[in-house]
Amino acid sequence: MLARTPRGFRDILPPEAAQREQVVGAVNQVLARAGYRPIETPTLELLPVLEELGSITTTPFRMFDRDGELLTPRPDVTLQVARLAQAHYEDSDLPLKFRYNQRVFREQERGRGDVREFTQIGVEAFGESGRQADYELVQALLSSLGAAGLADCRVLLCTVDVLAAVLAWADGGPDFDVAVKAALHANDFVHLEELLAAADLEEEKRRVIWELPRIHGGDQALAKAQELLRGIYDWKLFAALWQQLKGSQGMLELDIDFSVMSSFDYYTGLVFEAYAPGHPGIIASGGRYDHMLAWPAAGFALYLENITEALNADD
């Protein structure tokens, strides 16, 4: 009985620990060269403070300290770094570029075998926006994946503000908008179909909401989305970013995929996910979140456990 670990937690033995150390070191070198400075944040945070910055729904533990403060282990490093930036820096300090290696704690359904503690290698940048800032962020991601030994990853790009534009155009009401975002966030297309069938919308509006998250590919995907949303959304920024990125990804496969906008929560613009061949999980994800603080912001995280599993998939 004494040899047990809690559900979703595990020991990491020397061979895996050495590999993790190598990956973290290689990625940190890339991020340091890109101008990201190291930070560390506390394991515990005041839950109400994090909830002011974003939705907190996946934390497995909530506890009161002797002062009566409600605490939680960090479920999300982005929210922590935003809190850190707000607490310690001012407009005159911008731009800010931080990097971190942190354990994150999230609840998982019992019986699925998913971990409740995992490690993120990530960056957050504050004070810069626009196409060049997004381009540099994606370049840092691509370089990090290469340094981790995953030069054959597939990176999927999207922009979530397109969904905001579509929902504003559809004018289905606040409750409808929230329900559609939740369905997309859960990749629940059955529920999305039910929502659209029950909504008091014109058929054309139903069709656009239904078809958009199914568009994926390269130039043809962008052209299809532009045609579908003609007059609804201005593609200038995203199209220019796509053209700039296409010739710079090296060995990595770069695609547009509008199902990635299911990452809608605090994100406001560019979002992306990375996948490795032979591994079902997300290797990295991130994007732009300009509304969390008074400053524009963007970042990404690499998921260390998924990276090592992908590296060892052929062993």
Per-residue pLDDT reduced to its tens digit, 156-166: 999 999 999 99
To which H or E segment does residue 97 belong?
Answer: strand 96-105
Rounded to the nearest 5 degrees, what angle is found at the Cα of 282, between the Cα atoms of 4 and 267? 115
Pairing label, strands 96-105, 37-38: parallel
pLDDT score at 107: 78
pLDDT score at 28: 98
In terms of Cα–Cα distance, which of 253, 296, 251 is closest to 131?
296
pLDDT score at 114: 72
Residue 125 · residue 297 · CB < 8 Å: yes
Report the residue count for the chain: 315
Pairing label, strands 284-288, 270-275: antiparallel
Which neighbouring-strand residues pair with 118?
Answer: 104
Q: What is the mean pLDDT of the chain?
A: 91
pLDDT score at 224: 96
- Distances in Å between the Cα of 193 and the Cα atoms of 3, 169, 225 are 48, 18, 20
- Cis-peptide into 14, omega within 30 deg: no
Residues 165-212: pLDDT tens digits? 999 999 999 999 999 998 988 889 999 999 999 999 999 999 999 999
Report for 72-81, 108-117, 126-135: range of highest mean pLDDT: 126-135
Phi, psi for residue 102 in degrees, rounded to 5: -140, 145
Using only the alpha carbons of the chain, give its radius of gyration.
Answer: 20
Dist. CA 226–CA 294, nearest whole Å? 31
Q: Residues 221, 223, 229, 231: what is their CA dihedral angle, to the nearest 10 degrees? A: 160
